[in-house]
């Protein structure tokens, strides 16, 4: 009797993310990763002009955001940036390098935000920050391994809460000190080299607050109708985040004394110092949710990048294994969590944030170059692809290089 051999069908990721969930995913990683943590360190460089630093960072990000919108519809796969570079340069080595840089950005960013989460939690629970950070990372790692729909639903709920926290900062700051509305002219910097040097240098840190929108490209295989959903999700994320950032940072620098704000790991809580225990406690709870959410989504992103690189044969195949129970890449998730633990316990938040910004800007340069090459050498894409003019990735490349160079400016 002939033995029948049944081929084992590999377990695939599930398409569960609609436009609202994808946008909340992008907002969750963007907002939670930066604004709750880095306003203080940005203000330490730019002073009261920190909102301008955030506007500069938003401008840099927007051009690359449009480039991602086209590339994510040309190649809607996990480890998107690596796929874009492979298509643009046809280089396995460069593809692997870019993919690893993207994963590294998620890992280092998660470490930075976990320190911010520990700072907010430490104001309530008298436990050493390192112990808190480790606990946050481990708990979030379990959430990330649970399942994409479940983990992103949790992230979506957290995102709505953290956006409510930012609106609370704006509302309380203005209501507690209505005179700040008449002081908005103070946010306009003079045309002095020393002043603008600090503003531009701070833009590299402010850029960290926008890190996140590109992560949507790395869950492309789990997005419903990616050709329509991905561009819309990217645009909505950048628009909403930019508006919220400018308003929040403006309120904070006008309300909080600069000596208290500069360098604080929990800067937004300073707005509520005179509010009493109830309001301050509510905000600290929201801030904990927001920063924890940032760690969660970055871990999800980094694990999908490792999974995608393994699927593209650039990393060992065991990283591409998907659990038939959770339908998530458990091995890749475990590797990411372990690395986040290492970085969170070894480096301070400012160095982690600046390292993340630098890594992401390098990736942006490669992504914009890849799109420029594709537009010059490839036939026009199908009508299902979102197309931008070639000057968009050119400006995205130039602005990314310019912001990278700000890292060499004296602080």
Closest CA to 105 of 177, 20, 33, 187: 33
The CA–CA distances, whole Å, from 243 to 17, 31, 233, 397 equal 24, 11, 16, 24
User: Is residue 369 scored above 90 in pLDDT?
Assistant: yes
Residue-range definition of the domain harbouring residue 209: 19-408
Q: What pLDDT shows up at residue 175? A: 85
Q: What pLDDT shows up at residue 370? A: 92
Give residue-wise pLDDT tens across range 195-209: 888 888 888 888 878
231 belongs to a structural domain: yes
Q: What pLDDT shows up at residue 51? A: 92
6 belongs to a structural domain: no
Q: Give the whole-angstrom CA distance, residue 229 versus residue 223.
A: 7
Poorest-pLDDT segment among 76-80, 124-128, 189-193, 209-213? 76-80
Give residue-wise pLDDT tens across range 96-120: 888 888 888 888 888 888 888 888 8
145 belongs to a structural domain: yes
53 belongs to a structural domain: yes
11 belongs to a structural domain: no
Question: DSSP labels for 25-44?
Answer: HHHHHHHHHHHHHHHHHHHH
The count of other CB atoms within 10 Å of the CB of residue 175 is 8
274 belongs to a structural domain: yes
8 belongs to a structural domain: no
Give residue-wise pLDDT tens across range 126-153: 888 888 888 988 988 887 777 666 666 7
Contact assessment for residue 23 and residue 235, using Cβ atoms and an 8 Å cutoff: no
pTM of the model: 0.75
Domain count, the chain: 1
Average pLDDT, the chain: 80
- b vs e for 300-318, b when ≥16 Cβ sit within 10 Å of the residue's Cβ? bbbbbbbbbbbbbebbeee
Residue 267: give its domain's CATH number: 1.20.1740.10
363 belongs to a structural domain: yes
User: Is residue 33 scored above 50 in pLDDT?
Assistant: yes
């Amino acid at each position: 009797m002939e033995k029948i051999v049944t081929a084992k069908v590999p377990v695939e990721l599930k398409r569960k993310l609609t436009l609202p969930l994808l946008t909340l995913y992008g907002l969750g990683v963007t907002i939670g990763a930066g604004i709750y943590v880095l306003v203080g360190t940005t203000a330490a460089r730019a002073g009261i002009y920190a909102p301008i630093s955030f506007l500069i960072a938003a401008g840099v990000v927007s051009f690359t955001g449009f480039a991602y919108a086209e590339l994510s519809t040309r190649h809607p796969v996990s480890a998107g940036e690596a796929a874009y570079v492979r298509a643009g340069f046809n280089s396995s080595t460069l593809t692997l390098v870019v993919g690893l840089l993207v994963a590294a950005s998620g890992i280092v960013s998660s470490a930075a935000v976990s320190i911010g989460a520990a700072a907010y939690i430490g104001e309530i629970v008298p436990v050493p920050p390192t112990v808190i950070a480790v606990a946050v990372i481990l708990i979030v790692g379990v959430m990330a391994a649970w399942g994409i729909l479940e983990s992103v639903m949790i992230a979506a709920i957290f995102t709505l809460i953290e956006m409510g926290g930012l609106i609370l900062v704006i509302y309380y700051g203005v209501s507690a000190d209505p005179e700040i509305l008449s002081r908005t002219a103070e946010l306009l910097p003079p045309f002095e080299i020393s002043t603008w040097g600090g503003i531009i240098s701070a833009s590299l840190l402010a850029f960290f607050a926008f890190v996140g929108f590109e992560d949507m490209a790395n869950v492309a295989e789990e997005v419903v109708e990616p050709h329509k959903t991905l561009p819309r999700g990217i645009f909505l994320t950048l628009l909403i985040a930019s508006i919220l950032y400018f308003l929040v940072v403006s309120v904070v620098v006008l309300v909080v004394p600069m000596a208290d704000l500069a360098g604080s790991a929990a800067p937004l809580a300073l707005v509520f110092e005179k509010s009493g225990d109830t309001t301050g406690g509510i905000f600290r709870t929201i801030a904990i949710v927001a920063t924890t959410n940032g760690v969660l989504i970055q871990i999800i992103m980094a694990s999908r990048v490792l999974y995608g690189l393994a699927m593209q044969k650039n990393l060992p195949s065991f990283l591409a294994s998907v659990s038939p129970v959770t339908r998530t890449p458990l091995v890749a998730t475990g590797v990411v969590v372990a690395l986040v633990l290492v970085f969170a316990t070894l480096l301070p938040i400012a160095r982690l944030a600046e390292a993340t910004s630098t890594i992401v800007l390098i990736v942006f340069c490669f992504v914009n170059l890849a799109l420029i090459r594709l537009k010059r050498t490839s036939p026009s894409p199908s009508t299902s692809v979102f197309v931008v003019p070639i000057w968009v990735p050119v400006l995205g490349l130039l602005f990314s290089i310019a912001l990278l160079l700000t890292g060499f400016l004296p602080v």
